Each structure stands twice: as structure tokens, then as C-alpha cells.
Amino acid sequence: MPGLPIPNIDFRKLVKRDDLIIDNFIARLHHQWTFLFLVVGVIFIFGENYLDGQAIVCSDADSYSQKFCWLHGTSYVSDKLMHKLSNTSYSGRHFDCSTNSKGLPEDHRLTAYYIWLPFLLLISIMFTKIPRTLWKEMLEGGVLKSILIRSRRDEELDVKKAVMVYDKLKNSNGLFFFTIKSILVEIANIVAVILSMSIFNHALGGKFWSYGSDTTDYLQSDKAVNNPMCEVFPTVVSCTVHKIGINNDIETHNTVCLLSNNLFNMYYFLILWYWFIILLAISIVALLYRIFVSMGIPSLYMKQQKAYFGTKTSWYEYPVHILLRQNMDSHEFYEFCHGLAYHPWDRFSEEREFVLTDIKSDPEIQDVNQEAQP
């Protein structure tokens, strides 16, 4: 009996670092650090929800009642019962939730979202990785690899070939399209963060967009205002359980439950909110700076280019220079800049024919122009 075909999947590629740095620091904040924060949330929240066995504990409730409250959600504790409980030893920092701030009925179920949080985080991870995957597999086009050619003997950068390939890419608009596509990826990263925040905002009753700012205002205020963390992630809740009695009548039973997982959730999503806001601010500022550079506004950029290359370079070359500098040591980058400062035909005139022939026959950099085109 023939065996079943098993795909040959190398899982080491999932954690293996790239041979070359092909994106900037802000892009790595998106697909590395955001990915890390989200994975931590998935592990902890999934473990607490489905592996702990004590995700919800209800007072005077059998296993059916606890399962019912877990699957169908709970509501805030009523104002009357909250007042009684707050005067007991159960009162504490996260015990000041309001019940009826929106005029909802006391048995309105508000907290069924927590069973979906790990899956929403997985969707957010997918949004985070899509721009990076598109850039790595399709849009980057092997431009950096074609420039950073290293000799097989001593793994040193072949500066002559690097200058020649760079000049060829520039003349064929390969560098221009490289930078345009990198800008599109930056925009996609911003959109991914906004989509993630929108998903969480929808799941958390429209309170995630202002979750961090509301919490900051609450912690800094001396007024008797509601705790935003406890309103979004209550730890003490009320649950009304419906059962069928002996005479086929509907019987209702109300119980108080503890959602201890929400103590982690309220602080995790607070940190995640701040991270998203900071990441959005950095990404938008970087994108605006890129636009200003394309208009030739920052004089600092022009001075930098003249210091490195001895002449003015095009705005779309600046992102390429940053990535090349990160993939070269200081000596290699100096030699590369010096080569670009003078036309390669002048600097390597005696080796012109050799270099041109070598480039055309080298399989590593064949069809560079075709790969770089959109």
C-alpha cells in the first residue's frame, strides 16, 4: 500500500533570519515586534481560556450554569448588588464598574467576546504579516541581492559589480520602482494596524479606540468616574441562567461569577493599545518624511547625500542607500559610495569589458531589470 504523500516543509524557515536586511527599521517594528506582542497574547489568553479550567467561576452554580455563562456571556453586576458587594471585603481597585451607563437591561450579555479574543489576535497577526510577505516574496524583486554580490572565495563584497548593477538599476528605473513599492508596503503596514484596532474595537463594544486615553484619564482623575478597564474587562460579573423546570416552565437563576482572566486582558490590551498608537504615529511621520524628501524639502537629506556621494542623488535612492549601508560594513560602504561618486566607466575603465561580460553571464544577477520592474 503506497504511503500518503507528506509535504516537505522546512519549519526552520519560519524562524530563520534573512540573509540580507531587505526592509527598514519601522517595517521590522511591524512584522517582528507587533508579531511578538500578538503571539504572547495568543499564548496567554488561549491558555487561560481553554487550558486552565478555571476561566469562569460562579457562586452556587453547577457545571451546567458555569458552561452556560461561559458560552453565552455575562453582564455587569446590577447597581444594587454592586453597592452591597462594594461594602464588603470583596471591594477593590477593579470593583468599580458601572452597570447601566447605556440604559441596557441588567441581563444584557456584554462579555461573550472573551472566548473569541485568541482568534481575533490570530487575525491581527495575519494582517501584520501580509505586507511583509508581499514585500519579501514579490515586491522587493531581489534588488538588494543583485547589488550585494559577494565573491565565492572570501565572501567579500564585489564593489565593482555592486556599482555596475546599481547604476544599471538606476538607469532602468529599477530603484525608482523599488522605492515606490516600499512606500506602498509602508502604507499597507499602517492599514494593517488600523484594521486590527477596528476588529478589537468592534469586539469590545466600541471601546477599544479610546481605551488607552480613557484609562489614562481615569488614573489621573480624582473624580468619581467609571474605571474603563473594568468596564471593558470586568472581573466580577452577573449571569442569568435559564433552565427548564419539572413542568416545562422556564426557570431563571442569577449568580455572580469571577472572570479572573480579565485581570490579564485589561492590562495586556492597554499595552497593546499604546503600542498600536505609538507605531501608527511613527509610521505616519516616517511616511510624511518620505513625501517631503521626494519634494526636496529637507536640507539635511541633501547634505547627507553630498557628504556620502559627493553629489546630489535622487530622492528614491535614499531608502536604497539605507538598506545597503545596513548590509555592508563601514569600509565596504565607503568604497561603494566612492564608486558611485565617479562614473563607473571612468573609475574602472580598464576593466569595463570584463565587468560587463561578467555581469551578463552571472546567473545571480541575470534579468535584474525584469525583476525590478513592477
Which tens digit of pLDDT belongs to each residue from 232-248? 888 888 887 877 666 66
Count CB-CB contacts under 10 A for residue 298: 13
The residues pairing with 58 across neighbouring beta strands, listed in sequence order, are: 257
294-319: pLDDT as tens digits: 666 655 555 555 555 555 677 888 88
Does the pLDDT of residue 373 top 70, yes or no?
no
Specify the pTM: 0.79
- The strands making up 75-76's β-sheet, listed across from edge to edge, are 57-58, 250-258, 236-244, 75-76
Listed residue (71, 59, 56, 53) closest to 112, CA to CA: 71
More confident residue, 374 or 177: 177
Does the pLDDT of residue 263 top 90, yes or no?
no
Does the pLDDT of residue 88 top 90, yes or no?
no
- Asked if 38 contacts 200 with a C-beta cutoff of 8 angstroms, the reply is no
For residue 353, tell me if it sits in a domain.
yes
- Asked if 347 contacts 167 with a C-beta cutoff of 8 angstroms, the reply is no
Count CB-CB contacts under 10 A for residue 30: 25
For residue 12, tell me if it sits in a domain.
no
Listed residue (34, 48, 9, 4) closest to 192, CA to CA: 34
- Asked if 363 contacts 165 with a C-beta cutoff of 8 angstroms, the reply is no
For residue 13, tell me if it sits in a domain.
no
Residues 6+ positions from 97 with CB-CB distance below 8 Å: 76, 77, 82, 226, 227, 230, 231, 234, 236
pLDDT band for position 8 (cuts 50, 70, 90): low
For residue 176, what is its C-alpha cell? Answer: 525608482
Listed residue (109, 125, 93, 293) closest to 195, CA to CA: 125
Dist. CA 64–CA 320, nearest whole Å: 62
Listed residue (113, 81, 78) closest to 98, CA to CA: 78
How many percent of the chain have pLDDT more than 70?
A: 67
Does the pLDDT of residue 367 top 60, yes or no?
no
For residue 147, tell me if it sits in a domain.
yes
For residue 199, tell me if it sits in a domain.
yes
Q: Which domain holds residue 312?
A: 18-372
Residue ranges of alpha helices (H) inside 204-260 are 211-220, 228-232
For residue 6, tell me if it sits in a domain.
no
For residue 7, tell me if it sits in a domain.
no
Residues 6+ positions from 362 with CB-CB distance below 8 Å: 149, 161
333-361: pLDDT as tens digits: 888 887 877 654 444 444 444 444 444 45
For residue 234, tell me if it sits in a domain.
yes
The pLDDT of residue 283? 96
Q: Structurally, how many domains does the chain consist of?
A: 1
